Structures are given as C-alpha cells and as structure tokens.
Chains A and B, each alone.
Chain A
Amino acid sequence: MSTARFTVPKLNLTQLLKAPGGLPVQEAVAAAQANLSSLKPLCMGELHTLLEAAEKTFAGLSGYDEAGVTTLYETAVKGIGLGDVCGAGSVDVALHSLCDLLDHFRTHQRYDAEAVSVHLQAWRLLISTEIPPAGAQAVLGGLNRVSAKYSAPAES
C-alpha cells in the first residue's frame, strides 16, 4: 500500500512578491509587451526558416517513416508561439494542427502526404499574406478537420 504525506510549505516567492517597491501590473505588462514587440522580425525570420526546413523534410518522405515524421514534428513544434509574437497568431493554430496530425501519424503509424501538404501550404499562406480574420478562421477550421480525421486508427 502506498503512503502519502502532506505538508504546507512556506514559499519565498510569496514574500518577495509583496516586498516594497516593484512595479504596477499595468506598467509591467506594457513593458513585457514592448519587449516582445522588438522580437517581431526575429520571430518572422525563424518561422520562414522552420517552414523551409519542414518543406525539405516533407519532400523526402514517400510514406510512413518514423524518423521523418518525428523530424517534421520537431520542426513544427519549434514554431508554436512565434506567430503570436509577430502578429500572425493564426500560424500558431495551424502549427498546432500540424503537430496534432503528425502525432496521430506516429500513434497509429499512418501517413497521408496530402494532409501534411495542406498544412504546409497554409503555414506559408498565413505568414506571407494578410488574409482577413474570417478567411484565416476558415483555413484553420479546415486544417483542424483534416488532423481530426486521423485521430483514430485506420479502419482495416
């Protein structure tokens, strides 16, 4: 039988946060946001670099290949969060859908080049073009439906 012990620790952070001085929430959040804004060009550049790497990996895949799909996953997952910083938040959603898709492939050992291709095309579209929010939503809805299709094992 397992044993369990509870304690209620004193946290140093609790006292530090209450220490005199510090910053008002409004000022701190604005400063952090301004810091992030300075990273926009870097993040956009990185999204382009990752996309090119993903397209290269994809071009070398002809069917289910654990190592190739993993490389593609590792590339896509690095991009999540960068879109929001450079004002292209819909890219993060597209990359999340791509990671879901690739994770489904690894789980069920399946592969569909068309499903990956449509995600990569959307990635390029969403970072290269200013599309209206409704259009972006339609694209993302389509991507999510594609990745959801592969969440279950293939019917034999």
Chain B
Amino acid sequence: MGLDPNSRARFNLKDASVLLLDETQLGMTILVQIVTGLGAKNLHRCGDIESARSAVENNQIDLAIVDSLAATGQGYDFVEWLRRDAGEPNCYTPVLMTTSHTPRSQISRARDCGANIIIKKPFPPITVLERIIWSSKEGRKFLFSDTYVGPDRRFRNVGPPKGEKGRRREDFTATPLPQGQATADEDASADIEGGPELSGD
C-alpha cells in the first residue's frame, strides 16, 4: 500500500464531501488539520452519532473518517447504520475507521461493522492519504448479507480453507497460491488493518 511521501503525483480532494466523526475536540482538530492539509475543503464535522447521522441524511458523503469512540464503541454502530440504513449512494461511502484502542469486547464489532479499513492512532498524514486512495479504488465488491454489509473482506479467491470442502461455485476453479504466500484469511485480516490486533502503521 506504500505511497512515496515525495511523490509528485497529484490527487484532488477539493470537491469531496468529507464526514469527520470524533467526540473529542482535540481529536477533531487533528483530523481537520490533516484533511485540510491534504486539500479537503467540504467538511462535515460531527462530535456525536446524532449529528453524523444528520449529516448523512442531508448530504451526499464521498468519504467518512470515523472514530470508533473507544469507550462506547458507538463509532462501529454508526458505520453499521450507514451501511444498512443510509440508502444509496451513502451506504457505499468509503469509511476509514480510526481507533485509539480496541477493547477485547469490541474486536468483533470492529471487524464486522463494514468499515473499509481501520487505522490505529497515532496516524501520520501520509498514512491517511494512502488509506483514502486505497479505499477509493473501484472494483471491490460490496456485500449485503444478514450478518454483514460492507466491502468484501476477501481480496483474492484462493479456494476454501485447507481441508475444507468449498461451498461456492468459484471454489472449484480457484488455483492455490504457491507456498509461502498469503492465504485468503490473512488477506482478509489485512483489510481490517492488522486483523483483530488492529495494528496501525
């Protein structure tokens, strides 16, 4: 995912409508300083879930950077609501979830809420930009199911787990990777950065 910080490649966030959710004033200030430095101008600053929902209901959101709100984990609830109930096009909005610390009891919520990626604090601006660019890539499937709504957490189809019989049509054609390369499970956990440990950069 590495992006060269000295790259002269250009990107344009000027017209993107960006939702920021962080309950602490300083946390919000840090986010604002990063995204405005990266060129974003159209910001919806939300200090709680209610104002974030209202921003989604009244605007098209192109990118959301949402804090998990570690103490309560309400940030996960917000993303789940966005995916399930916000309707098109906002349900597909790329979501970068930021987290200071993930309590053990919230690890599965973090994995299953439907965020595109999780970034652990502290995060330098280059990391935020890398993740924005990565999340904006089209072609990634989006899944609606009873238990999960969000970007497909699998990156490559390498067939069913070792020793298991595949249940999907594609399982019959998947070619196993050479030994030593990542497995589907490892790739899926890399999606939620660092998997259950939610490691940062």
Binding site for B on A (CB under 8 A): 2-14, 16-26, 28-29, 31-36, 38-39, 42-43, 46, 70, 73-74, 77-78, 80-85, 89, 92, 96, 99-100, 103-104, 106-107
Q: For the complex, would chain A's binding face be called helix, strand, loop or mixed by DSSP majority?
A: helix
Interface check B136, CB cutoff 8 A: yes
9-residue interface stretch from B44-52, B137-145, B156-164, B171-179: B137-145
Known contacts A21-B14, A36-B34, A83-B122; is-contact A11 B138 (Cβ 8 Å):
yes
- A28 lies within 8 A of B11 (CB): yes
Known contacts A22-B14, A77-B70; is-contact A14 B138 (Cβ 8 Å):
yes
Q: Provide the B64-100 mask, 1 if CB < 8 A to any CB of A, else 0.
A: 0000001100000000000000000100111000001
Which single member of B26, B60, B101, B147 contacts A42 (CB below 8 Å)? B26
What are 24 A-B contacts defined by CB distance under 8 Å? A4-B143, A8-B138, A8-B141, A11-B94, A12-B62, A16-B13, A19-B12, A25-B5, A25-B6, A25-B9, A26-B6, A26-B7, A28-B37, A28-B38, A29-B5, A29-B37, A29-B38, A33-B125, A39-B33, A81-B121, A81-B123, A92-B122, A99-B101, A107-B104
Number of A-B contacts (CB under 8 A): 192
| Residues on A with beta carbons closer than 8 Å to the beta carbon of B146 | 2-3
| Residues on A with beta carbons closer than 8 Å to the beta carbon of B62 | 11-13, 16
Interface check B43, CB cutoff 8 A: no
- B10 lies within 8 A of A35 (CB): no
Least Cβ–Cβ distance between A71 and chain B, in angstroms:
10
Which residue of B has the minimal Cβ distance to A78?
A: B24
A16–B3 alpha-carbon span in the complex (Å): 19
